[in-house]
A = this chain, B = another copy of it.
Amino acid sequence: MNAPIGVFDSGVGGLTVAREIMRQLPEENLVYFGDTARVPYGTKSKETVIRYSKQIIRFLLSKGVKAIVIACNTASAVCLPELAALYDVPIIGVVEPGANSAAKATKNKNIGIIGTNGTVKSGVYTKLLRKKDPEITVVTKACPLFVPLVEEGLIDDRITEDVTQRYLSELKGYDIDALVLGCTHYPLLMNPIGHYMGEKVTLVNPAYETAKTLKATLNEKNIANTEGNGGNHEYYVSDMVEQFLTFADRVLPCHVDKVNDIEIEKY
């Protein structure tokens, strides 16, 4: 089935998830939507995130997608079950795969979760991890400055190192051995986070396990693309085409020529 996979995020960060899907499922076609007009979602209420996500899903369905990946941790955390129940196509979030990865990675059963205020307040990573193994201890920390720091390009920078230390010093005290990067921008801060936390802490990027889950779902439902006409990627945003292109060139393995600017509120 050569219908595309729909991938959406509050903005550009979800490209780190799209990148992983392209790597693991190069034969699939993709339609990516980044809600760059209304980014960030991490500071918005649950009701607003659900309303925005529904508009985006209606848009993706109008493009004929056969499955949807919610690349945004906040949207996955606060509204995946509600959304999955509403539509016929399979909808996959990044939180459950992220939790599964972390549970596999930990040995001492102390796991740290970092993300936006929305993701952390939802408590969903903690719930999922405790359900998998009641002996797991979860420590969480919201890190609202990480996204603007990445978007300012301050990756290897003393200010980012200071902010990292400020946010993570408490987590470090809990003897965690796995840390979930629970926001799509955070894998871009692997260096300062990894350097501060030290080699004994495994950094978990939920994107890897999300792409694996997507692959298994497509096979299970017998809708993987086996027609040999895949690898086409379309990009849509709600604003700021130029900035999207710049970010895409930093993140994706391929150059993006064209991005379509749409009015998402109409969907």
A interface, CB within 8 angstroms of B = 37-39, 43-45, 48, 144-145, 148-149, 151-152, 158-159, 162-163, 166, 238-240, 243, 265
Contact = CB atoms under 8 A, between A and B. Distances in A.
User: Which of A48, A240, A265 has its CB near the most chain B CB atoms (within 10 A)?
Assistant: A48
Given A37-B44, A38-B38, A158-B162, 4 more contacts: A48-B239, A144-B151, A145-B152, A148-B148
Contact of A152 (B39, B144, B239): B144
6 contacts: A38-B38, A44-B239, A144-B151, A158-B162, A159-B162, A159-B163
Sorted from nearest, which 3 A-B pairs have the closest CB atoms?
A148-B148, A48-B239, A37-B48
Nearest to A147: B148
Nearest to A145: B148
A240 B152 contact: no
Contacts of A144: 148, 151-152
A162 B159 CA distance: 7
Contact of A145 (B37, B39, B48, B149): B149
